[in-house]
Amino acid sequence: MGETDTIRRPWEETASAGVSEKKTLALDGALTLASGRTLDRVVVAYETWGTLDELGANAVLVCHALSGDSHLAGLRPGQPGDATPGWWDVMVGPGKAIDTDRFFVVCANVLGGCSGTTGPSSLDPETGAPYGLRFPMVTIEDMVDVQARLLHALGVRRLASVVGGSMGGMQALAWAKRYPERVGSVVADATTWRLGPQAIAFNEVGRRAILEDPAFSSGDYYAVGQPESGLGIARMIGHITYLSDESMHKKFGRRLQSSADYAYDFVSEFQVESYLAYQGQRFVERFDANTYLYMTKAMDYFDLQGDAPSLAAALLSVSARFLVLSFSSDWLFPTARSKELVSALRENGNEVSFAEIPSGYGHDAFLLEPEAQHRLIAPFLTNALAHARAAADDAPASQLPGTEVAS
Amino acid sequence: MTPRELLRADQQLITELVPEGARVLDLGCGDGALLARLRDERGAIVRGVEIDLADIALCIERDVPVYQGDLDEGLSDVPDDRFDVVILSQTLQVVKRPRLVLSEMLRVGKRSVVSFPNFGHWRVRAHLALRGRMPVSDAIPYSWYDTPNIHHTTIADFRDFSADCGAVVEREIAFVGRDDGRPRMVRALPNLLADEAVFVLRRR
């Protein structure tokens, strides 16, 4: 197998993870949130790939980013052959970095989301109407608690790895801190232990665009249609922050979309303008404006250090192995923040590997640089699996601590 | 069990210098082979620093924790005396700021181990003296224009440099590296007859 392996480029095999069906699970009992509020009924939408081994050692949770969903890889049932595969299809499938032949892979839509998991667009059981802004504020930790309950229901006691990019990486980090005995390793990809003011500022401008759209109607727009203009603008701003100066130069330059000459008008002329308008429009068709507000706020609130005197002090209980990856042109989740995280983990004696992948794609690079990520993540997960199996051999699943879930 | 990898001669010597269970940092750790050996055979707790992404992938494959970093920027996030042994094997000659690198090694490690090709070896001297050309040898296999080696040193020079950086030389091992990874020791006239050396240093 060695020879064929070396010439395979698994990250180029589209939809190799096959067809996966979105399932839902209603959590047992209420969920208490970081804010102190409770949700009586929480439904989680999730998908899985591969099978859980006898030791229960090969589970990998992949956490999605702001606009993602549970459709991580492969195709959906009934989807035509050329339809868009999962959002990280390049990384997940047989022989890919997250190898579905070896791992039991789980991806769930986050709490507060709009792709099947309970969120502001869900019906409030008390009123029978969508929550809107009556939905409680959720944090990254709340999202993680819901995932923990889901995994418990799926029979997963311990994760060989939690993998996430961007907001997904925040969840992966929160996992390691919140459930240290249940996390063998973490892949923190293009992420941060807390956002800086620049990123919070962009999130706030996006939220303002939504909140001040007249169609927003205090979040109760579900009967009449959502604030498309505001959500579209929020997405346009988001896209600017996901790209880099270099990638925008390459992709658009100063080229005009359809005419050779300036129109001397306020129509969309430059290619970059059309691109952003298109991205905004597409987003409006699939994403809920209220969820956008809740997700960006959850990211802004996320701070792995919390009340601790230092980041290292906050991470003292963390035992996981780490692979931390950043991208050279990512100014939204910059390498410097990743290095702070790595430094704190190293200070605590954690086994941590770190690399900055050279890329011109900006923050989006974690979705667009599969080969470089494959070369680092694939061997990391291979070892994570070996460690997880050794740990499972030492402690049979029934005796493992940490099967309780924080409420 | 995977077959035992063949290490470079200097790495072979370094393996024998590292005590059981030591905390080891290897600067410019390359593919991580030395650290993996120290972990597997010495029970060492190992950490690597490497700049090259392909090498980092090989370290990760060997389950050696590795940090992408530029040695010329120092080790500012590593506290004093954090490691029992800090290794710089065949890397001194490629760094831009050897003095900073050695000072940082002495700061973060109780012992520092440095291996380097000896520019004082007779072949090197003869190359320059007799042919009037920049030396190319087994230990220094590059042409002057494409060499990564920007700071050549001799054993005699390195002694002075160590003292100048505030280090005490605990051991000095001069040898001729061979392809089978087994070094031939040089006892007499090391600066003339050895093509490589390993120094063990500590802070004065």
For the question of whether the overall pTM of this predicted structure is more than 0.90, the answer is yes
Each residue's pLDDT tens digit, B123-159: 999 999 999 998 887 777 899 899 999 999 999 999 9
Strands A38-39 and A43-49: unpaired
Per-residue confidence band for A402, with pLDDT thresholds at 50, 70 and 90: very low
Residue type for position B105? M
- Collect all residues with Cβ–Cβ distance below 8 Å to A37 and sequence separation of at least 6: A136, A137
Do residue A25 and residue A152 come from a single domain? yes
Domain closes at, from A277, A297, A317? A297
A286-304: per-residue pLDDT in tens?
A: 999 999 999 999 999 999 9
Q: Please say whether the dihedral angle defined by the alpha carbons of residues B23, A158, A337 and A63, taken in this order, is positive or negative.
A: positive
In this structure, the answer to whether residues A140 and A20 fall within a common structural domain is yes
Mean pLDDT lowest among A5-19, A136-150, A185-199, B170-184: A5-19
Work out how many domains chain A is built from and give that number: 2
Q: Quick one: average pLDDT of A328-357?
A: 97
pLDDT class of A2 with cuts at 50, 70, 90? very low
Residue identified by tokens 């395979």 is A8
A319 touches B: beta carbon within 8 Å: no
Cα angle A239, A244, A245; round to 5: 120
Distance from CA of B2 to the nearest CA of A (A): 14
Mutate to test the interface with A, among B67, B75, B81, B84 (most CBs of A within 10 A): B67
Q: What is the pLDDT of residues A69-107, one digit of tens each?
A: 999 999 988 876 667 899 999 999 999 999 999 999 999
The residue segments making up the domain with residue A325 are 2-194+303-399
Catalytic site positions of A: 166, 330, 363
> What band does B2 get if pLDDT is binned at 50, 70 and 90?
low
Which class for A329: exposed (0-12), middle (13-18), buried (19 or more C-beta within 10 A)? buried
Domains of chain B: 9-118+151-203 (3.40.50.150)
Same domain (yes/no): A309, A290 = no
Task: Flag whether pLDDT at B33 surpasses 60.
Answer: yes
- Asked, for residue A221, whether it belongs to a domain, the answer is yes
B108, B85 in Cβ contact below 8 A?
A: no
pLDDT surpasses 70 at A21: yes
Close Cβ partners of A4 (under 8 Å, ≥ 6 residues apart): none
Percent residues over pLDDT 70 in chain A: 95
| Sole residue written with tokens 């709340």 | A142
B36 touches chain A (CB under 8 A): no
Taking each helix axis as running N to C, give the angle between helix A167-178 and helix A289-301, from 0 to 180 degrees, rounded to the nearest 10.
50
Helices (H), ranges, B33-130: 33-42, 53-61, 98-108, 122-126
ipTM higher than threshold 0.90 = yes
**Tokens linked to B185:** 């020791």
Pair (A290, A164) in one structural domain: no
Q: What is the pLDDT of residue A406?
A: 46
Of residues B180 and A166, more confidence is placed in A166
Question: What confidence score (pLDDT) does residue B178 get?
Answer: 80
Do A342 and B67 lie within an 8 Å CB cutoff? yes
CB A331 within 8 A of CB A337: no
Nearest to A168 by CA among A192, A196, A132: A192
DSSP A128-145: SSB-GGGSPP--HHHHHH
Residue where one domain finishes, among candidates A235, A264, A297? A297
Return the DSSP state at B118: B
pLDDT digits (tens, 9 = 90+) for A228-277: 999 999 999 999 999 999 999 999 999 999 888 999 999 889 999 999 99
Dist. CA A405–CA A395, nearest whole Å: 19
Last residue of a domain, one of A297, A317, A350: A297
For the cut 80, the answer to whether the pLDDT of residue B5 exceeds it is: no
Contact A57, A389 (CB under 8 A): yes
CATH assignment of the domain containing A74: 3.40.50.1820
Distance CA B69, CA B104 (A): 14
- Assess A372–B contact: CB distance below 8 Å, yes or no: yes
Residue type at B83?
A: F
